[in-house]
């Protein structure tokens, strides 16, 4: 019986365009920018990277909170995991606001970006680990394909509204991850 359930869960694996694939692609992009930030000594480059990181995280947290988290809570009724994720987002948003209000000239700028990086790494690990939010979502009756489409549309709206992505610049690559002309 357990093998049958595992096969059923495997049948729900992503095609590359589902909600979890979209969120994981966001995670990988922000991780890359954090790594670049840590390596650079150029203040202009730091500002550019921090701006990209903060903008991407604001869009990411918005689509997670508006679409994914509410669907997750409805499908799983796992209030503890949902609430913890929301609190982690609140902490990240606070630090993002501090980073956006400062510049590389601020003595604490690098430290704030470093702490944000550590907060995001922790949050991502919890979401992506076995038994984490993404695993629980896969095991639920959530329609991850439909959520992925909804989230991708909302993400494009938010990016265009914030000026992060010019209209029409965002397109899907063959592996299902979004490509951004301004990366």
Question: Is the pLDDT confidence value at 95 over 50?
Answer: yes
Q: What is the pTM of this model?
A: 0.81
- Distance between CA atoms of residues 17 and 160, nearest Å: 20
φ and ψ of 179, to 5 deg: -110, 140
* Residues whose CB is less than 8 angstroms from the CB of residue 20 and which lie 6 or more positions away in sequence, other chains included: 14, 134, 137, 138, 144, 148
Give the mean pLDDT of 11-18: 59
Domain boundaries in the chain?
17-162
**Mean pLDDT score of the chain:** 86
Q: What is the DSSP code (8-state) at residue 176?
A: S
- Distance between CA atoms of residues 112 and 7, nearest Å: 44
Confidence of residue 170 (pLDDT cuts 50, 70, 90): very low
Q: Say how many C-beta atoms besides its own lie within 10 A of residue 175's C-beta.
A: 10
Q: Dihedral of CA 48/49/54/58: which sign? A: positive
The C-alpha angle 117, 120, 124, rounded to 5 degrees, equals: 140
pLDDT of residue 125: 97
Task: Note the CATH number of domain 17-162.
Answer: 1.20.120
* Residues whose CB is less than 8 angstroms from the CB of residue 15 and which lie 6 or more positions away in sequence, other chains included: 145, 176
Question: Is the pLDDT confidence value at 10 over 60?
Answer: no
pLDDT of residue 168: 44
């Amino acid at each position: 019986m357990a093998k049958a359930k595992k096969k059923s869960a495997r049948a729900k694996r992503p095609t590359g365009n589902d909600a979890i694939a979209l969120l994981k692609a966001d995670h990988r992009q922000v991780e890359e920018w954090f790594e670049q930030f840590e390596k650079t000594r150029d203040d202009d480059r730091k500002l550019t990277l921090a701006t990209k990181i903060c903008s991407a995280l604001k869009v990411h947290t918005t689509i997670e909170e508006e679409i994914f988290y509410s669907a997750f809570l409805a499908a799983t009724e796992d209030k503890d995991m949902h609430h913890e994720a929301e609190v982690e987002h609140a902490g990240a948003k606070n630090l993002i606001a501090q980073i956006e209000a400062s510049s590389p000239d601020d003595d604490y700028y690098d430290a704030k970006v470093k702490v944000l990086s550590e907060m995001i790494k922790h949050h991502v690990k919890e979401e992506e680990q076995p038994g984490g939010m993404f695993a629980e979502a896969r095991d639920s009756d959530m329609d991850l394909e439909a959520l992925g489409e909804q989230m991708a549309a909302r993400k494009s709206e938010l990016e265009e509204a914030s000026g992060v992505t010019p209209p029409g610049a965002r397109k899907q690559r063959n592996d299902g991850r979004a490509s951004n002309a301004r990366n």
